[in-house]
Chain A
């Protein structure tokens, strides 16, 4: 059976609500405290985090090497984490090159590096994207308006277990004069998932 959002996930959500209610009932947490923690997490979690990592990797070869080797350790240098106050998840950063392009999916549900990209887009959770990008990624990328040259090989990463994946796009040509901040502005959420060039 697959990992759809019914069944086990629904019963887990019910258990979490029950525990939350008990904690509030016994005065152990303020009802607003959890909402505030969640809001703070989501306020910090947006694609700017991923974009800053990519820009740093583009300008600093040492950081780039550390990021590809151990994502969780390296991202602290840019002041972000895979925890964001919640449970820390393992991060694997994969890099696009002249010959290889990476694209990320979760075919079983919707696993996604929320701390670095914020909540996932609706299409990422759609059955169409999840089923088709593993089968025919080149056509799916083309539908995103991204025509990848035939000579570039594609690797699809299926986040089927406990690791979350982030793509480092190739640095666009003609950006040699830009500083790290200006480079970060070029990087999009879709580029970090691998369905856009940058």
Chain B
């Protein structure tokens, strides 16, 4: 499957709080960040943890401003997120 995102793209982290294991940290939910790079292609952790078949998908390093995540702070946080966790921001 072709990658949905490229470096420089603005993306919003999913706001879904799933009832199972996930690797989308709670503090990024709903926040908007910028794709820094594509880290590679890996099976989705949520599926693997539940023993479900999982097609590998792109993982991106996404940079968020602290102000976007926490409402304050002058630093950035770069988080590795599977494509399924991200939505395009127009």
User: A92 to chain B: which residues have CB within 8 Å?
Assistant: 39, 61
| In contact, A135 and B59 (Cβ under 8 angstroms) | no
* Distance between Cα atoms of A3 and B79 in the complex (Å): 15
* Distance between Cα atoms of A136 and B73 in the complex (Å): 7
User: B19 to chain A: which residues have CB within 8 Å?
Assistant: 1
Q: Is the interface of B mostly helix, strand, loop or mixed?
A: mixed
User: B21 to chain A: which residues have CB within 8 Å?
Assistant: 1, 3, 7-8
Q: Is the interface of A mostly helix, strand, loop or mixed?
A: mixed
| In contact, A163 and B27 (Cβ under 8 angstroms) | no
* Distance between Cα atoms of A162 and B24 in the complex (Å): 13
Residue interface mask B61-72, A partner, CB < 8 A = 1: 101001001100
User: B40 to chain A: which residues have CB within 8 Å?
Assistant: 90, 162-163
Can you report 29 A-B residue pairs in the complex whose CB atoms are below 8 A from each other?
A: A1-B18, A7-B21, A8-B49, A90-B40, A92-B61, A107-B25, A107-B27, A134-B27, A134-B69, A154-B74, A155-B75, A155-B76, A155-B78, A156-B77, A158-B25, A158-B78, A158-B80, A159-B80, A160-B24, A160-B25, A160-B79, A160-B80, A161-B42, A161-B45, A162-B42, A162-B59, A163-B39, A163-B59, A163-B61
- Chain A 28-58 interface residues, beta-carbon cutoff 8 Å to B: none
Asked, given contacts A135-B73, A138-B75, whether A162 binds B39 with beta carbons under 8 Å apart, the answer is yes
Residue interface mask A1-26, B partner, CB < 8 A = 1: 11100011000000000000000000
User: B80 to chain A: which residues have CB within 8 Å?
Assistant: 158-163
User: A107 to chain B: which residues have CB within 8 Å?
Assistant: 25, 27
Query: Interface centre among A3, A135, A160, by most B CB within 10 Å?
Result: A160
Smallest Cβ distance from A114 to chain B, in angstroms? 17
* Distance between Cα atoms of A163 and B39 in the complex (Å): 7
| In contact, B76 and A134 (Cβ under 8 angstroms) | no
Query: Interface centre among B23, B69, B74, by most A CB within 10 Å?
Result: B23
